[in-house]
Amino acid sequence: MTIRPILIHPDPRLKKLCDPVTEITDDLRAAAEDMLETMYDAPGVGLAGPQVGLMSRILVMDCIKDPEAKPRPMVLMNPEVTWTSDETNTYEEGCLSIPEQYADITRPKEVKVRWLGLDGATHEEEFDGLWATCVQHEIDHLDGKLFIDYLTPLKRQLITRKMQKLKREKARA
């Protein structure tokens, strides 16, 4: 397993629509393991393929935050939301591709998601709370959408400028 570098906004790959997974290969299984290791190391609760330069519809997540609880790593390929609740939740969202920037984002409180698992089977589950927010955030990544796209143009521009500055500083270091 390898910790992969996480792309920082603005990077054109973060704004692209990802290709569906058509075949579960050993390379894809290895990439999923790398993504989980990268997510845990960051640390984060979710990570989508394009954030590590993998332009396929794959995401990983684990929203168990209690260090005493058993982790629940999940790998979702070709995920699609099949149902959303009318009730919404507002969470302060962040993103590993937009470090140290947070904003309140309102999304459906509960969602039902169908996806392809590494076992080749179709899975479906209803998520709520942080799990629902996380899976929607990561699916957005697969569609080339970032959480800052929900903000006003001014707020989005301010965050983008901060990220450009951060990238310049990292390049100099």
* Catalytic one of 68, 87, 138, 169: 138
Distance CA 65, CA 45 (A): 8
Q: Do 89 and 134 meet the contact criterion of CB atoms below 8 Å apart?
A: no
| Catalytic residue flag (residue 124) | no
With residues binned 3-state (H G I as helix, E B as strand, rest as coil), the percentages for the chain, rounded to 5, are 35, 30, 35
Name 124's bridge partners: 114
DSSP letter for each residue of 62-115: -----TTSPP--EEEEEEEEEEE-SSEEEEEEEETTEEEEEEEEEEESEEEEEE
Element (H, E) at 123: strand 122-128
Q: Which two tokens stand for residue 34?
A: 């790398």
**Catalytic residue set:** 138
